[in-house]
Amino acid sequence: MGYQDIMREYAKKLESYSGKSVDELLAITNGNEIDFIQAIEMAIQQKLERLGEDNLSEEEVIVLAVEALEREVNNGGYSQFFVNSSREYTPIIVHALGRIGCTETAKITERAVKAAGFSGLAPLTLKDALDAFSKEYERQNEYRLVTPAQASEIVKTITSNASLTEPFAVRPNSLSTPEWDVLEEELNECDQLYYAAGVENIGGKLIDFVKANKDAIQP
């Protein structure tokens, strides 16, 4: 399936999910848990785009926050959650996890928030801190963030030198500072605790939360 086909399928899903109730989305997805959560999130996102964040209920925001955390931490750890657009949910994510009954994951996430220095900050100060973290993350990891043009040059280098064992043969000696190393180590530990806490079944508890609060979740 090509890119255009994927986008057409995505657009069809958006259209079929938009404005549907929790019960209707359950029926559309035939009770499949993964499809149901995806449908709920997409429908709430559509509501957000139509009406703005002030028209979302707390329960709807909780769904978006928890799903953002799941997606980002499973893909790239807490650092990725704090760097990508998901970071907007930093102020409420611990509360959101508590609301759906994931107390262990809430504790781990609170530890990550504190480690990154975001705990207890006022909204504007928190935004500045998150922006600063994002910039520092990019600076510390710039050797990993390869542009298509750079990737092409790397491939040429690899194919022209069979003895090259390191794809990134030319790296700066050190882009890190002791402080950043300590922070990354703490966040990495939080990542591992998060993965181990998967027994809490975040997805299942989120589904239970949605079903129990379907009067407040009306995308």
Mean pLDDT of 23-49: 92
- Report d(CA 86, CA 74) in Å as an integer: 13
Say yes or no to pLDDT of 154 above 90.
no
Cut 0.85: pTM above it = no
Confidence grade of residue 149 (pLDDT, cut at 50, 70, 90): low
Say yes or no to pLDDT of 8 above 80.
no
Confidence grade of residue 144 (pLDDT, cut at 50, 70, 90): low
Helix (H, G, I), strand (E, B) or coil at 38: helix
Cβ burial 108-142 (10 Å sphere, 16+ → b, else e)? bbbbbbebbebeebeeeebeebbeebeeebeebee
**Mean pLDDT for all residues in the chain:** 83
**Are 97 and 203 within 8 A, CB to CB?**
no
At a CB cut-off of 8 Å and minimum separation 6, what does 38 contact? Answer: none
pLDDT computed for residue 13 by the predictor: 66
pLDDT computed for residue 89 by the predictor: 97
pLDDT one-digit tens code per residue, 43-92: 999 999 999 999 999 999 999 999 999 999 999 999 999 999 999 999 99
DSSP helix, strand, coil percent of the chain (3-state; round to 5): 75, 0, 25
pLDDT computed for residue 12 by the predictor: 64
